[in-house]
Amino acid sequence: MEREVIQSVGFRNIKNGDEVTGFQFKVRLPYYRGVFLSQLRPGTLFVDGERIEKDDITWVIRGEEFTNEQMRENYQINWDITTPATLKVKKQGGLAQGWHTLKYGFSFSSSYMPPMMQSDDALDPDKEFFIFMPEFGHHVNERTMLIV
Amino acid sequence: MYKYDRKGPKRGVSLYSYSAEYGFTKSLEECFEDMYDMGAHGLEILANSHIENYPYPTDEWVDKWFRLCDKYEIVPVEYGNWIDSHVLRDRDLTTEEAYKLLERDIRLAHRLGFTVMRTKMPVINEKLEPVLNWREIIKMALPLAEQLGIKMCPEIHIPTNLNGEMVKSYVDFIKETGTKNFGLNIDFGVFRTEFAPGEWKDPAFTPNKPEDLIPLIPYIYCCHAKFFNVDDNFRETTMDYAAIINTLADNGWDGYLLSEYEGADKYDPGYEVGQTLRKHHILMKNIIGD
């Protein structure tokens, strides 16, 4: 596992037969403990500045694929800190060969943190928390990587 | 299973300390070996962090767990769990739902050989007061905890004071119920008296004196041996460590002091928390004798 939240391993186009239907990349959980899926706040993805809504992205955790909506109610499955999740993005034709900059935001709630740090605004995955705590990582991460 | 028979305060490590390295440059086994190097027998894990496939580890993983504990002379002491009442976005869990999570953790703690749980309460305000139904949740869990020999302990952490209302409410609950399966984990941060010039200090924090521990000793099942700065002469410069440990020892306390390093510098590139823990264990070994 790489220290960067957006992992370089796992970044590729997704093929269905001969057809390229999208692409995928992996993120690790930048926290010191695992979280249940309902704690996650998936955000918006920007690929080379192009906006992709959170509902167009599915998460694969422990081999199971979840939509944003499915994760919202699921507090039985835990995403652990040592296994990156795979994010699948629908995009006809996938990404072109060459460099791409991915900017992606996600955050997570925590039952023992005071309410002011748990508001929708504080947990907004698309902007940074008002104070940076290394233990909780950044909400928004960016990485430039190659598609072959 | 490995047993460590010494009475009184004993040394241990909370794997939380390895947070910045775990999964990158340290595996579970490497953390255990680091502890073995230090002669630290007591272990605290964070359930959601260190149990593979939590909360449903495989039998193979559990077998490996006990093999590693034996190999490195590790005693599973404290199982860090959270009562995650606020796990859903739109509503709090009911008492029954919160209990179900706690029940699952009690069973898993017992399966892995733990006897104490650091039961983190969900909070409702900026003073970090626990949810209003914490008594009901804990009461539901007491019979199972008793049956499996588990003691659930909220951590008493700054800015909470040992003489304050929150500790009193926990002690009152213990007295009312007469339970031996709910108690306290004292975080030594409450004894901190020295701060570096310009360092942030919580305005709500007043340090405790080591003797404030004495009335609580029957309810303390474990301590987070918090430390901030151990100098090159192996002295903690921010609090009187010998006075704290000797107060526990002189008053007949028996249990584990689990090193917990919370400094944010452990996330700095190249930082190795193992060396920081070793300094702390030289300090504690010099006071305790083993």
- Global ipTM: 0.94
Half-sphere exposure of B12 (CA within 13 A, CB side): 27
- Return d(Cα B274, Cα B74) in angstroms, integer: 17
Which residues of chain B have a CB within 8 Å of the CB of A75? 84, 87-88
A–B interface: beta-carbon pairs under 8 A = 79
Of A3, A36, A133, the CB nearest to B87: A36
Percentage of chain B lying above the pLDDT 90 cut: 95
Chain-wide mean pLDDT for chain B? 97
Residue B189 CB neighbours (<10 A): 23
Domain boundaries, chain A: 6-147
pLDDT score of A130? 86
Chain-wide mean pLDDT for chain A? 96
Q: Of B106, B241, B263, which is closest to residue B181 (Cα–Cα)?
A: B106
pLDDT score of B249? 98
DSSP state of B209: P
Q: pLDDT tens, B218-264?
A: 999 999 999 999 999 999 999 999 999 999 999 999 999 999 999 99
Q: pLDDT tens, B79-127?
A: 999 999 999 999 999 999 999 999 999 999 999 999 999 999 999 998 8
pLDDT score of A46? 98
A85-89, B122-126, B208-212, B244-248: which range is least confident on average?
B122-126
Beta carbons of A81 and B49 less than 8 Å apart:
yes
- Classified as helix, coil or strand, B161 is coil
pLDDT score of B127? 85
Look at chain A and count its residues: 148
- Name the token pair of B2: 């490995």
Beta carbons of B87 and A39 less than 8 Å apart:
yes
pTM for the model: 0.96
The predicted model gives B123-143 an average pLDDT of 95
Beta carbons of A115 and B264 less than 8 Å apart:
no
Look at chain B and count its residues: 290
Q: CATH code for B9-288?
A: 3.20.20.150
pLDDT score of B110? 98
- Name the token pair of B200: 């942030």
Query: Got the DSSP string for B27-47?
Result: -HHHHHHHHHHHT--EEEEEH
Half-sphere exposure of B133 (CA within 13 A, CB side): 16
